[in-house]
Amino acid sequence: MSDRTVLVVAHTGRAEAVRSAQLVIGRLAEAGITVRALEGDAGDLSCPNLVEVWPRTPAAAEGVEVVIVLGGDGTLLRAADLARPAGAPLLGVNLGHVGFLAEAEREDLATTVDRVIERRYDVEERMTIDVTVRRNGSVTGTTWALNEATVEKAERQRMLELVVEIDGRPLSHWGCDGVVMATPTGSTAYAFSAGGPVVWPEVEAMLVVPISAHALFARPLVVSPRSAVAIEVLPDTPRAVLWCDGARTLDLPAGARIEVRRGEHPVRLARLHLTPFTDRLVTKFGLPVTGWRGRSRAAAQVRQHPEPGRELTPDESADAVPGVQAPPRCEPAPDGAGTWTAGETEGEDAGPVTGGGAPGGVEGR
């Protein structure tokens, strides 16, 4: 056995996730990698001789190289609660629906495991938020979130009465169903459903998105990651509840104050592909891109070159510029009808861009 260890977390309530986890565990064990599984999951996985069983605590992720998560975004968010304190990267295999956080799809499972065995993956960090709840000046609870922290009403009959504060100054009083405070990662989750903007993951910011607010000024806000956001639940309002990533919850009595800041510890995600976030949006939401022309041949040839002032010729490879991939060259259709077709790229004929998929296909997500 090697000194390498991988934690496997699966949504064992799904038969497909169990089968996928068994394949992953068997392949890792065959490669001589120690595999951990969580108490409560190990029995469902039926691999008693291939896994070490660990309690469902952050200790399970200490010292592991990567945490492979088989399920949807909810499963990955629960696994993040274990992996974040240890700084272990998460590699999600999407067995759910949209799966924005997952890096691979179910059909890529064997390739994904091979990439882990060969250590052919990168790691990126995602911003988190830390949440503190106070009442009468005393701290009554602390938690964190990767996607969002949401203040919601606990009784459907009445609205919440809240005051929003940014950097120690009051902003507005909202009568509403709640407020979502999200990270860029969470901008495509609850905040998106509440009408918030989509924020690219590399943008460092916090979002404040009211839910069904009865107020003149109730627009989604994008604030600095250095800002401190606070929500005060007014004394005469109904009981409220705080949800973080849909998993961790705290009751909020009238008069509670919820303070949100940038998290001290990020969540680390393992990446197999350098897929642009734009392509992820197109793939996950099925966005229509029919009619996209791309760059013209002339524009595609004007590229940065190691020798300043000289343009690449059509025969020169984009390999001359490390990390730059040549875009497809596009030419007008012979009939002059205004439509465009993709020219030959790397010896293969790419047809016209149609349908809702990203041109050329999107790997992973």
What is the pTM for the complete model shown? Answer: 0.78
CA angle in degrees (0–180, nearest 5) for 254-256-259: 155
Mean pLDDT calculated for residue range 188-214: 95
Q: Give the C-alpha separation, 342 to 322, whole Å.
A: 24
pLDDT of 75-99, one tens digit each?
999 999 999 999 999 999 988 776 7
pLDDT of 126-173, one tens digit each?
999 999 999 999 999 999 999 999 999 988 888 999 999 999 999 999
Q: Give the C-alpha separation, 106 to 113, whole Å.
A: 11
Where do the structural domains in the chain lie, given as residue ranges? 5-120, 129-264, 288-349
* Residue 332 confidence class, pLDDT cut points 50, 70, 90: very low
Name all contacts of 137-143 with Cβ < 8 Å and 24+ positions apart. 140/250, 140/256, 141/242, 141/250, 143/242, 143/244, 143/248, 143/250
Is the pLDDT reported for residue 313 higher than 70?
no
Mean pLDDT calculated for residue range 197-208: 96
Mean pLDDT calculated for residue range 331-350: 41
Is the pLDDT reported for residue 196 higher than 90?
yes
pLDDT of 284 reads 87
Greater model confidence, 339 or 47: 47
pLDDT of 1 reads 52
Catalytic residue list = 73
Is the pLDDT reported for residue 309 higher than 70?
no
* Residue 340 confidence class, pLDDT cut points 50, 70, 90: very low
Is the pLDDT reported for residue 353 higher than 50?
no
Is the pLDDT reported for residue 100 higher than 90?
no
* Residue 273 confidence class, pLDDT cut points 50, 70, 90: confident
What fold does the segment set 5-120 form as a domain? Rossmann fold (3.40.50)
Q: Give the C-alpha separation, 151 to 213, whole Å.
A: 13
Is the pLDDT reported for residue 333 higher than 80?
no
Q: Which amino acid is located at 251 in the chain?
A: D
Q: Give the C-alpha separation, 226 to 84, whole Å.
A: 21
Mean pLDDT calculated for residue range 63-68: 97
Q: Give the C-alpha separation, 273 to 243, whole Å.
A: 32
pLDDT of 312 reads 42
Phi-psi region of 90 (alpha: psi -120 to 50; beta: other; left: phi over 0): beta
| Burial class for 116, CB neighbours closer than 10 Å (0-12, 13-18, 19+) | buried
pLDDT of 221-259, one tens digit each?
999 999 999 999 999 888 899 999 999 999 999 999 999
Greater model confidence, 132 or 3: 132
Identify the helix (H) or strand (E) that includes residue 113.
helix 109-117
What fold does the segment set 129-264 form as a domain? Tumour Suppressor Smad4 (2.60.200)
